[in-house]
Structure 1
Amino acid sequence: MSTTAGPHHAPGPQYLVAGRYRLKSRIGGGGMGTVWLARDQLLDRDVAVKQVVSTEGLTEDSADNVRQRAMREGRIAAKLSHRNAIAMHDVALDRGEPWLVMEYLPSRSVAQILHATKTLAPAEAAQIGAQVADAMVEAHAAGIVHRDIKPGNILIAEGGRHTGLVKITDFGISRAKDDVTLTQTGVITGTPAYFAPEVARGADPQEASDVYSLGATIYTMVEGQPPFGVDDNSIALLHKVARARINPMQNAAELEPVLLRLLEPSPTKRPTMSQARDLLTSFAAGSRGSRDQVLTGLITRPGAGTPVWSQRTNRSSTTGPHRPAGATLPPYAPTMSADRGSRDLPRTRQGMSPTIMSTPQPHSSTPRPLTAQHHPSDSRQPSYGPPAQPSGTSSTALAVSIFVFFAVLAVVVVLAIALLR
Structure 2
Amino acid sequence: MRTTSSRTSSRTATWTDLVVAGRYRLLDQVGSGGMGSVWRAHDLRTGQDVALKVLGRHSSTLLARFVREQAVRVSHPHVVAPHGWAAEDDLVVLAMELVAGGSVADLLREHGPLDAGTCALLVEQLLLGLAAVHGAGLVHRDVKPANLLLEATGDGPPHLRLGDFGVAAPVADRRFTTVPGAIGTDGYMAPEQARGAPPEPTQDLYAVGRVALELVTGEPPGRQDVVPSHPLRPLVERLLVPDPEQRIATAEAALRLLRRLPVPPPAGPPVPDRLGPPPRGRRTTAGPGAVVDWLGWAAVAGLAGVVVGCLWVLLGWTA
1:274 equivalent in structure 2: 252
**Out of 238, 243, 247, which is 2:225 matched to?**
247
8 Å CA contact 2:147–2:162 kept in 1: the answer is yes
Partner amino acid for 1:257?
P
Alignment-derived partner of residue 209 in structure 2? 215
The residue that corresponds to 1:353 in the other structure is: none
Q: Alignment partner for residue 69 of structure 1, among 65, 69, 79?
A: 65
> For each residue in 1:57-84, what CA deviation from the matched residue of structure 2 results, as whole angstroms up to 9, or x when unmatched?
x5xxx3xx543431220112x1x11110
Instruction: Decide which of 241, 259, 280 is 1:264's aligned counterpart.
Output: 241
Please list the CA deviations of residues 364-421 of structure 1 after superposition, one character each: whole Å capped at 9, or x if unmatched: xxxxxxxxxxxxxxxxxxxxxxxxxxxxxxxxxxxxxxxxxxxxxxxxxxxxxxxxxx
Give the TM-score of the pair, scaled to structure 2. Answer: 0.75
Aligned-partner residue type, residue 42 of structure 1:
R
**One-letter amino acid of the counterpart of residue 70, structure 1:** F
Given that 1:30 and 1:170 are in contact with CA atoms closer than 8 Å, whether structure 2 keeps it comes out as no
**8 Å CA contact retained: 2:171, 2:201:** no
Match of 1:194 in 2: 188
Residues 184 and 258 of structure 1, relative CA distance in 2, 3 Å threshold = closer
Q: Report the TM-score when normalising by structure 1.
A: 0.58
Provide the C-alpha distance between the structure 2 equivalents of 1:276 and 1:212, rounded to a whole number of angstroms. Answer: 11
Q: Is the 8 A contact 2:150 2:161 kept in 1?
A: yes
Q: How does 1:221-236 map to 2 (within 5 A)?
A: 221-229=215-223
Give the corresponding residue for 1:308: 269
Paired AA for residue 216 in structure 2: V
Structure 1 residues 41-50 or 190-199, which shifts more?
190-199
Which 5+ residue runs of structure 2 have no aligned equivalent? 1-10, 277-317
**Equivalent residue number for residue 125 of structure 2:** 131
Alpha-carbon distance in structure 1 between the residues aligned to 2:227 and 2:185: 21
Structure 1 segment 119-198 matched on structure 2, within 5 A: 119-159=113-153, 164-177=158-171, 183-198=177-192
Partner of 2:40 in structure 1? 37
Q: 1:72 to 1:18 in 2, by over 3 A?
A: same
1:296-335 Cα deviation digits (max 9, x unpaired): xxxx41xxxxx6224x5x7337xxxxxxxxxxxxxxxxxx
- Return the alpha-carbon distance in structure 2 between the equivalents of residues 228 and 197 of structure 1: 14
**Residues 1:277 and 1:32: Cα distance change in structure 2 (over 3 Å):** farther
Cα deviation for residue 218 of structure 1 reads 0.7
Letter of the 2:84 partner, please give it.
D
Pairing partner for 1:94 from 85, 88, 94: 88
Distance 1:179 1:282 in 2: 34
Larger radius of gyration: 1
Identical counterparts, % of pairs: 33
Query: 2: distance between equivalents of 1:265 and 1:35?
Result: 35
1:162 Cα offset (Å): 8.1
5 Å matches for 1:78-89?
A: 78=73, 80-89=74-83
Whichever residue aligns with residue 308 of structure 1, its letter is P
Q: Tell me what 1:12 maps to.
A: 15
What is the one-letter code of the residue matched to 1:167? R
Q: Which runs of 5+ in 1 are unaligned?
A: 1-8, 230-245, 289-299, 302-306, 318-357, 360-421
8 Å Cα contact 1:84/1:131 also seen in 2: yes
* Aligned-partner Cα distance in 2 for 1:278–1:88: 29
SS in 1 for 2:231: helix
Where 1:194 maps in the other structure, the secondary structure is coil
Find the aligned partners of 1:247 and 1:141 in 2 and give their Cα distance: 33
Contact 1:127/1:281, CA 8 A, preserved across alignment: no
Asked if 2 retains the 8 angstrom alpha-carbon contact of 1:173 and 1:189, the reply is yes
Distance 1:84 1:13 in 2: 30
CA distance change for structure 1 residues 161 and 260 in 2, over 3 Å: closer, same or farther?
A: closer
The secondary structure found in structure 1 opposite 2:127 is helix
CA distance in 1, matches of 2:95, 2:55: 11
Q: 2:183 touches 2:196 (CA, 8 Å); kept in 1?
A: no
Q: Structure 2 vs 1, CA of residues 26 and 163 (structure 1 numbering), >3 Å: closer, same or farther?
A: farther
Distance 1:134 1:249 in 2: 23
Partner of 2:280: none
- Pairwise CA distance, 1:182: 5.8
Do the aligned residues in 2 keep the contact of 1:127 with 1:280 (CA within 8 Å)? no
| Residues 25-56 of structure 1 deviation map (CA, whole Å, 9 limit, x = unaligned) | 1111234221100111121110000011222x
State the alpha-carbon separation in 1 of the partners of residues 259 and 89 from structure 2. 47
